[in-house]
């Protein structure tokens, strides 16, 4: 596939929440997460911090700070494992306040429980 998808609302949320320099690196990390999710063909994946840093073109320490920011904003979920194992990251495509587009009650979900198409309510 020649492209990957990153939701506009996520970019706007990052811009509204963080200072300019932090927003820039948060976008790089978020785009890296979206790219990996697309390559893995799933919204959840396990990768080491160094791999994320390489894809995002930022340092490991920057990735750690921006992951915390993105998680706090509700744009990603992180499942942390003990003993220095790589964490599992989930890109939350449609957080609260967004609903399935075209569904009568907004409750339609993909098989994995995630929402796949959305419209802000």
| pLDDT band, very low/low/confident/very high, at 117 (cuts 50, 70, 90) | very low
Q: Is the pLDDT of residue 21 over 70?
A: yes
Summarised one tens digit per residue, pLDDT across range 25-73 is: 999 999 999 999 988 888 899 999 999 999 999 999 999 999 999 999 9
DSSP, collapsed to helix, strand or coil, labels residue 112 as coil
Q: d(Cα 48, Cα 71) in Å, to the nearest integer? A: 17
- Domains of the chain with CATH codes: 8-93 (1.10.10.10)
The pTM (predicted TM-score) of the whole model is 0.77
Q: Is the pLDDT of residue 100 over 50?
A: no
Q: d(Cα 111, Cα 57) in Å, to the nearest integer? A: 33
| pLDDT band, very low/low/confident/very high, at 5 (cuts 50, 70, 90) | confident
How far lies 113's CA from each of 17, 32, 54, 109, in Å?
A: 27, 23, 30, 5
């Amino acid at each position: 596939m020649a492209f990957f998808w990153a939701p506009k609302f996520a970019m706007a949320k990052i811009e509204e929440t963080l200072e300019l320099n932090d927003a820039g690196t948060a976008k790089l990390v978020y785009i890296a997460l979206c790219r990996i999710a697309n390559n893995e063909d799933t919204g959840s994946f396990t990768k080491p911090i160094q791999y994320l840093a390489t894809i995002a073109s930022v340092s490991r320490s920057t990735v750690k700070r921006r992951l915390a920011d993105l998680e706090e904003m509700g744009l990603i979920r992180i499942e942390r494992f003990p003993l220095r194992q790589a964490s599992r990251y989930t890109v939350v495509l449609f957080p609260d306040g967004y609903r399935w587009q075209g569904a009568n009650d907004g409750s339609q979900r993909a098989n994995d429980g995630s929402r796949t198409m959305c419209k802000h309510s």
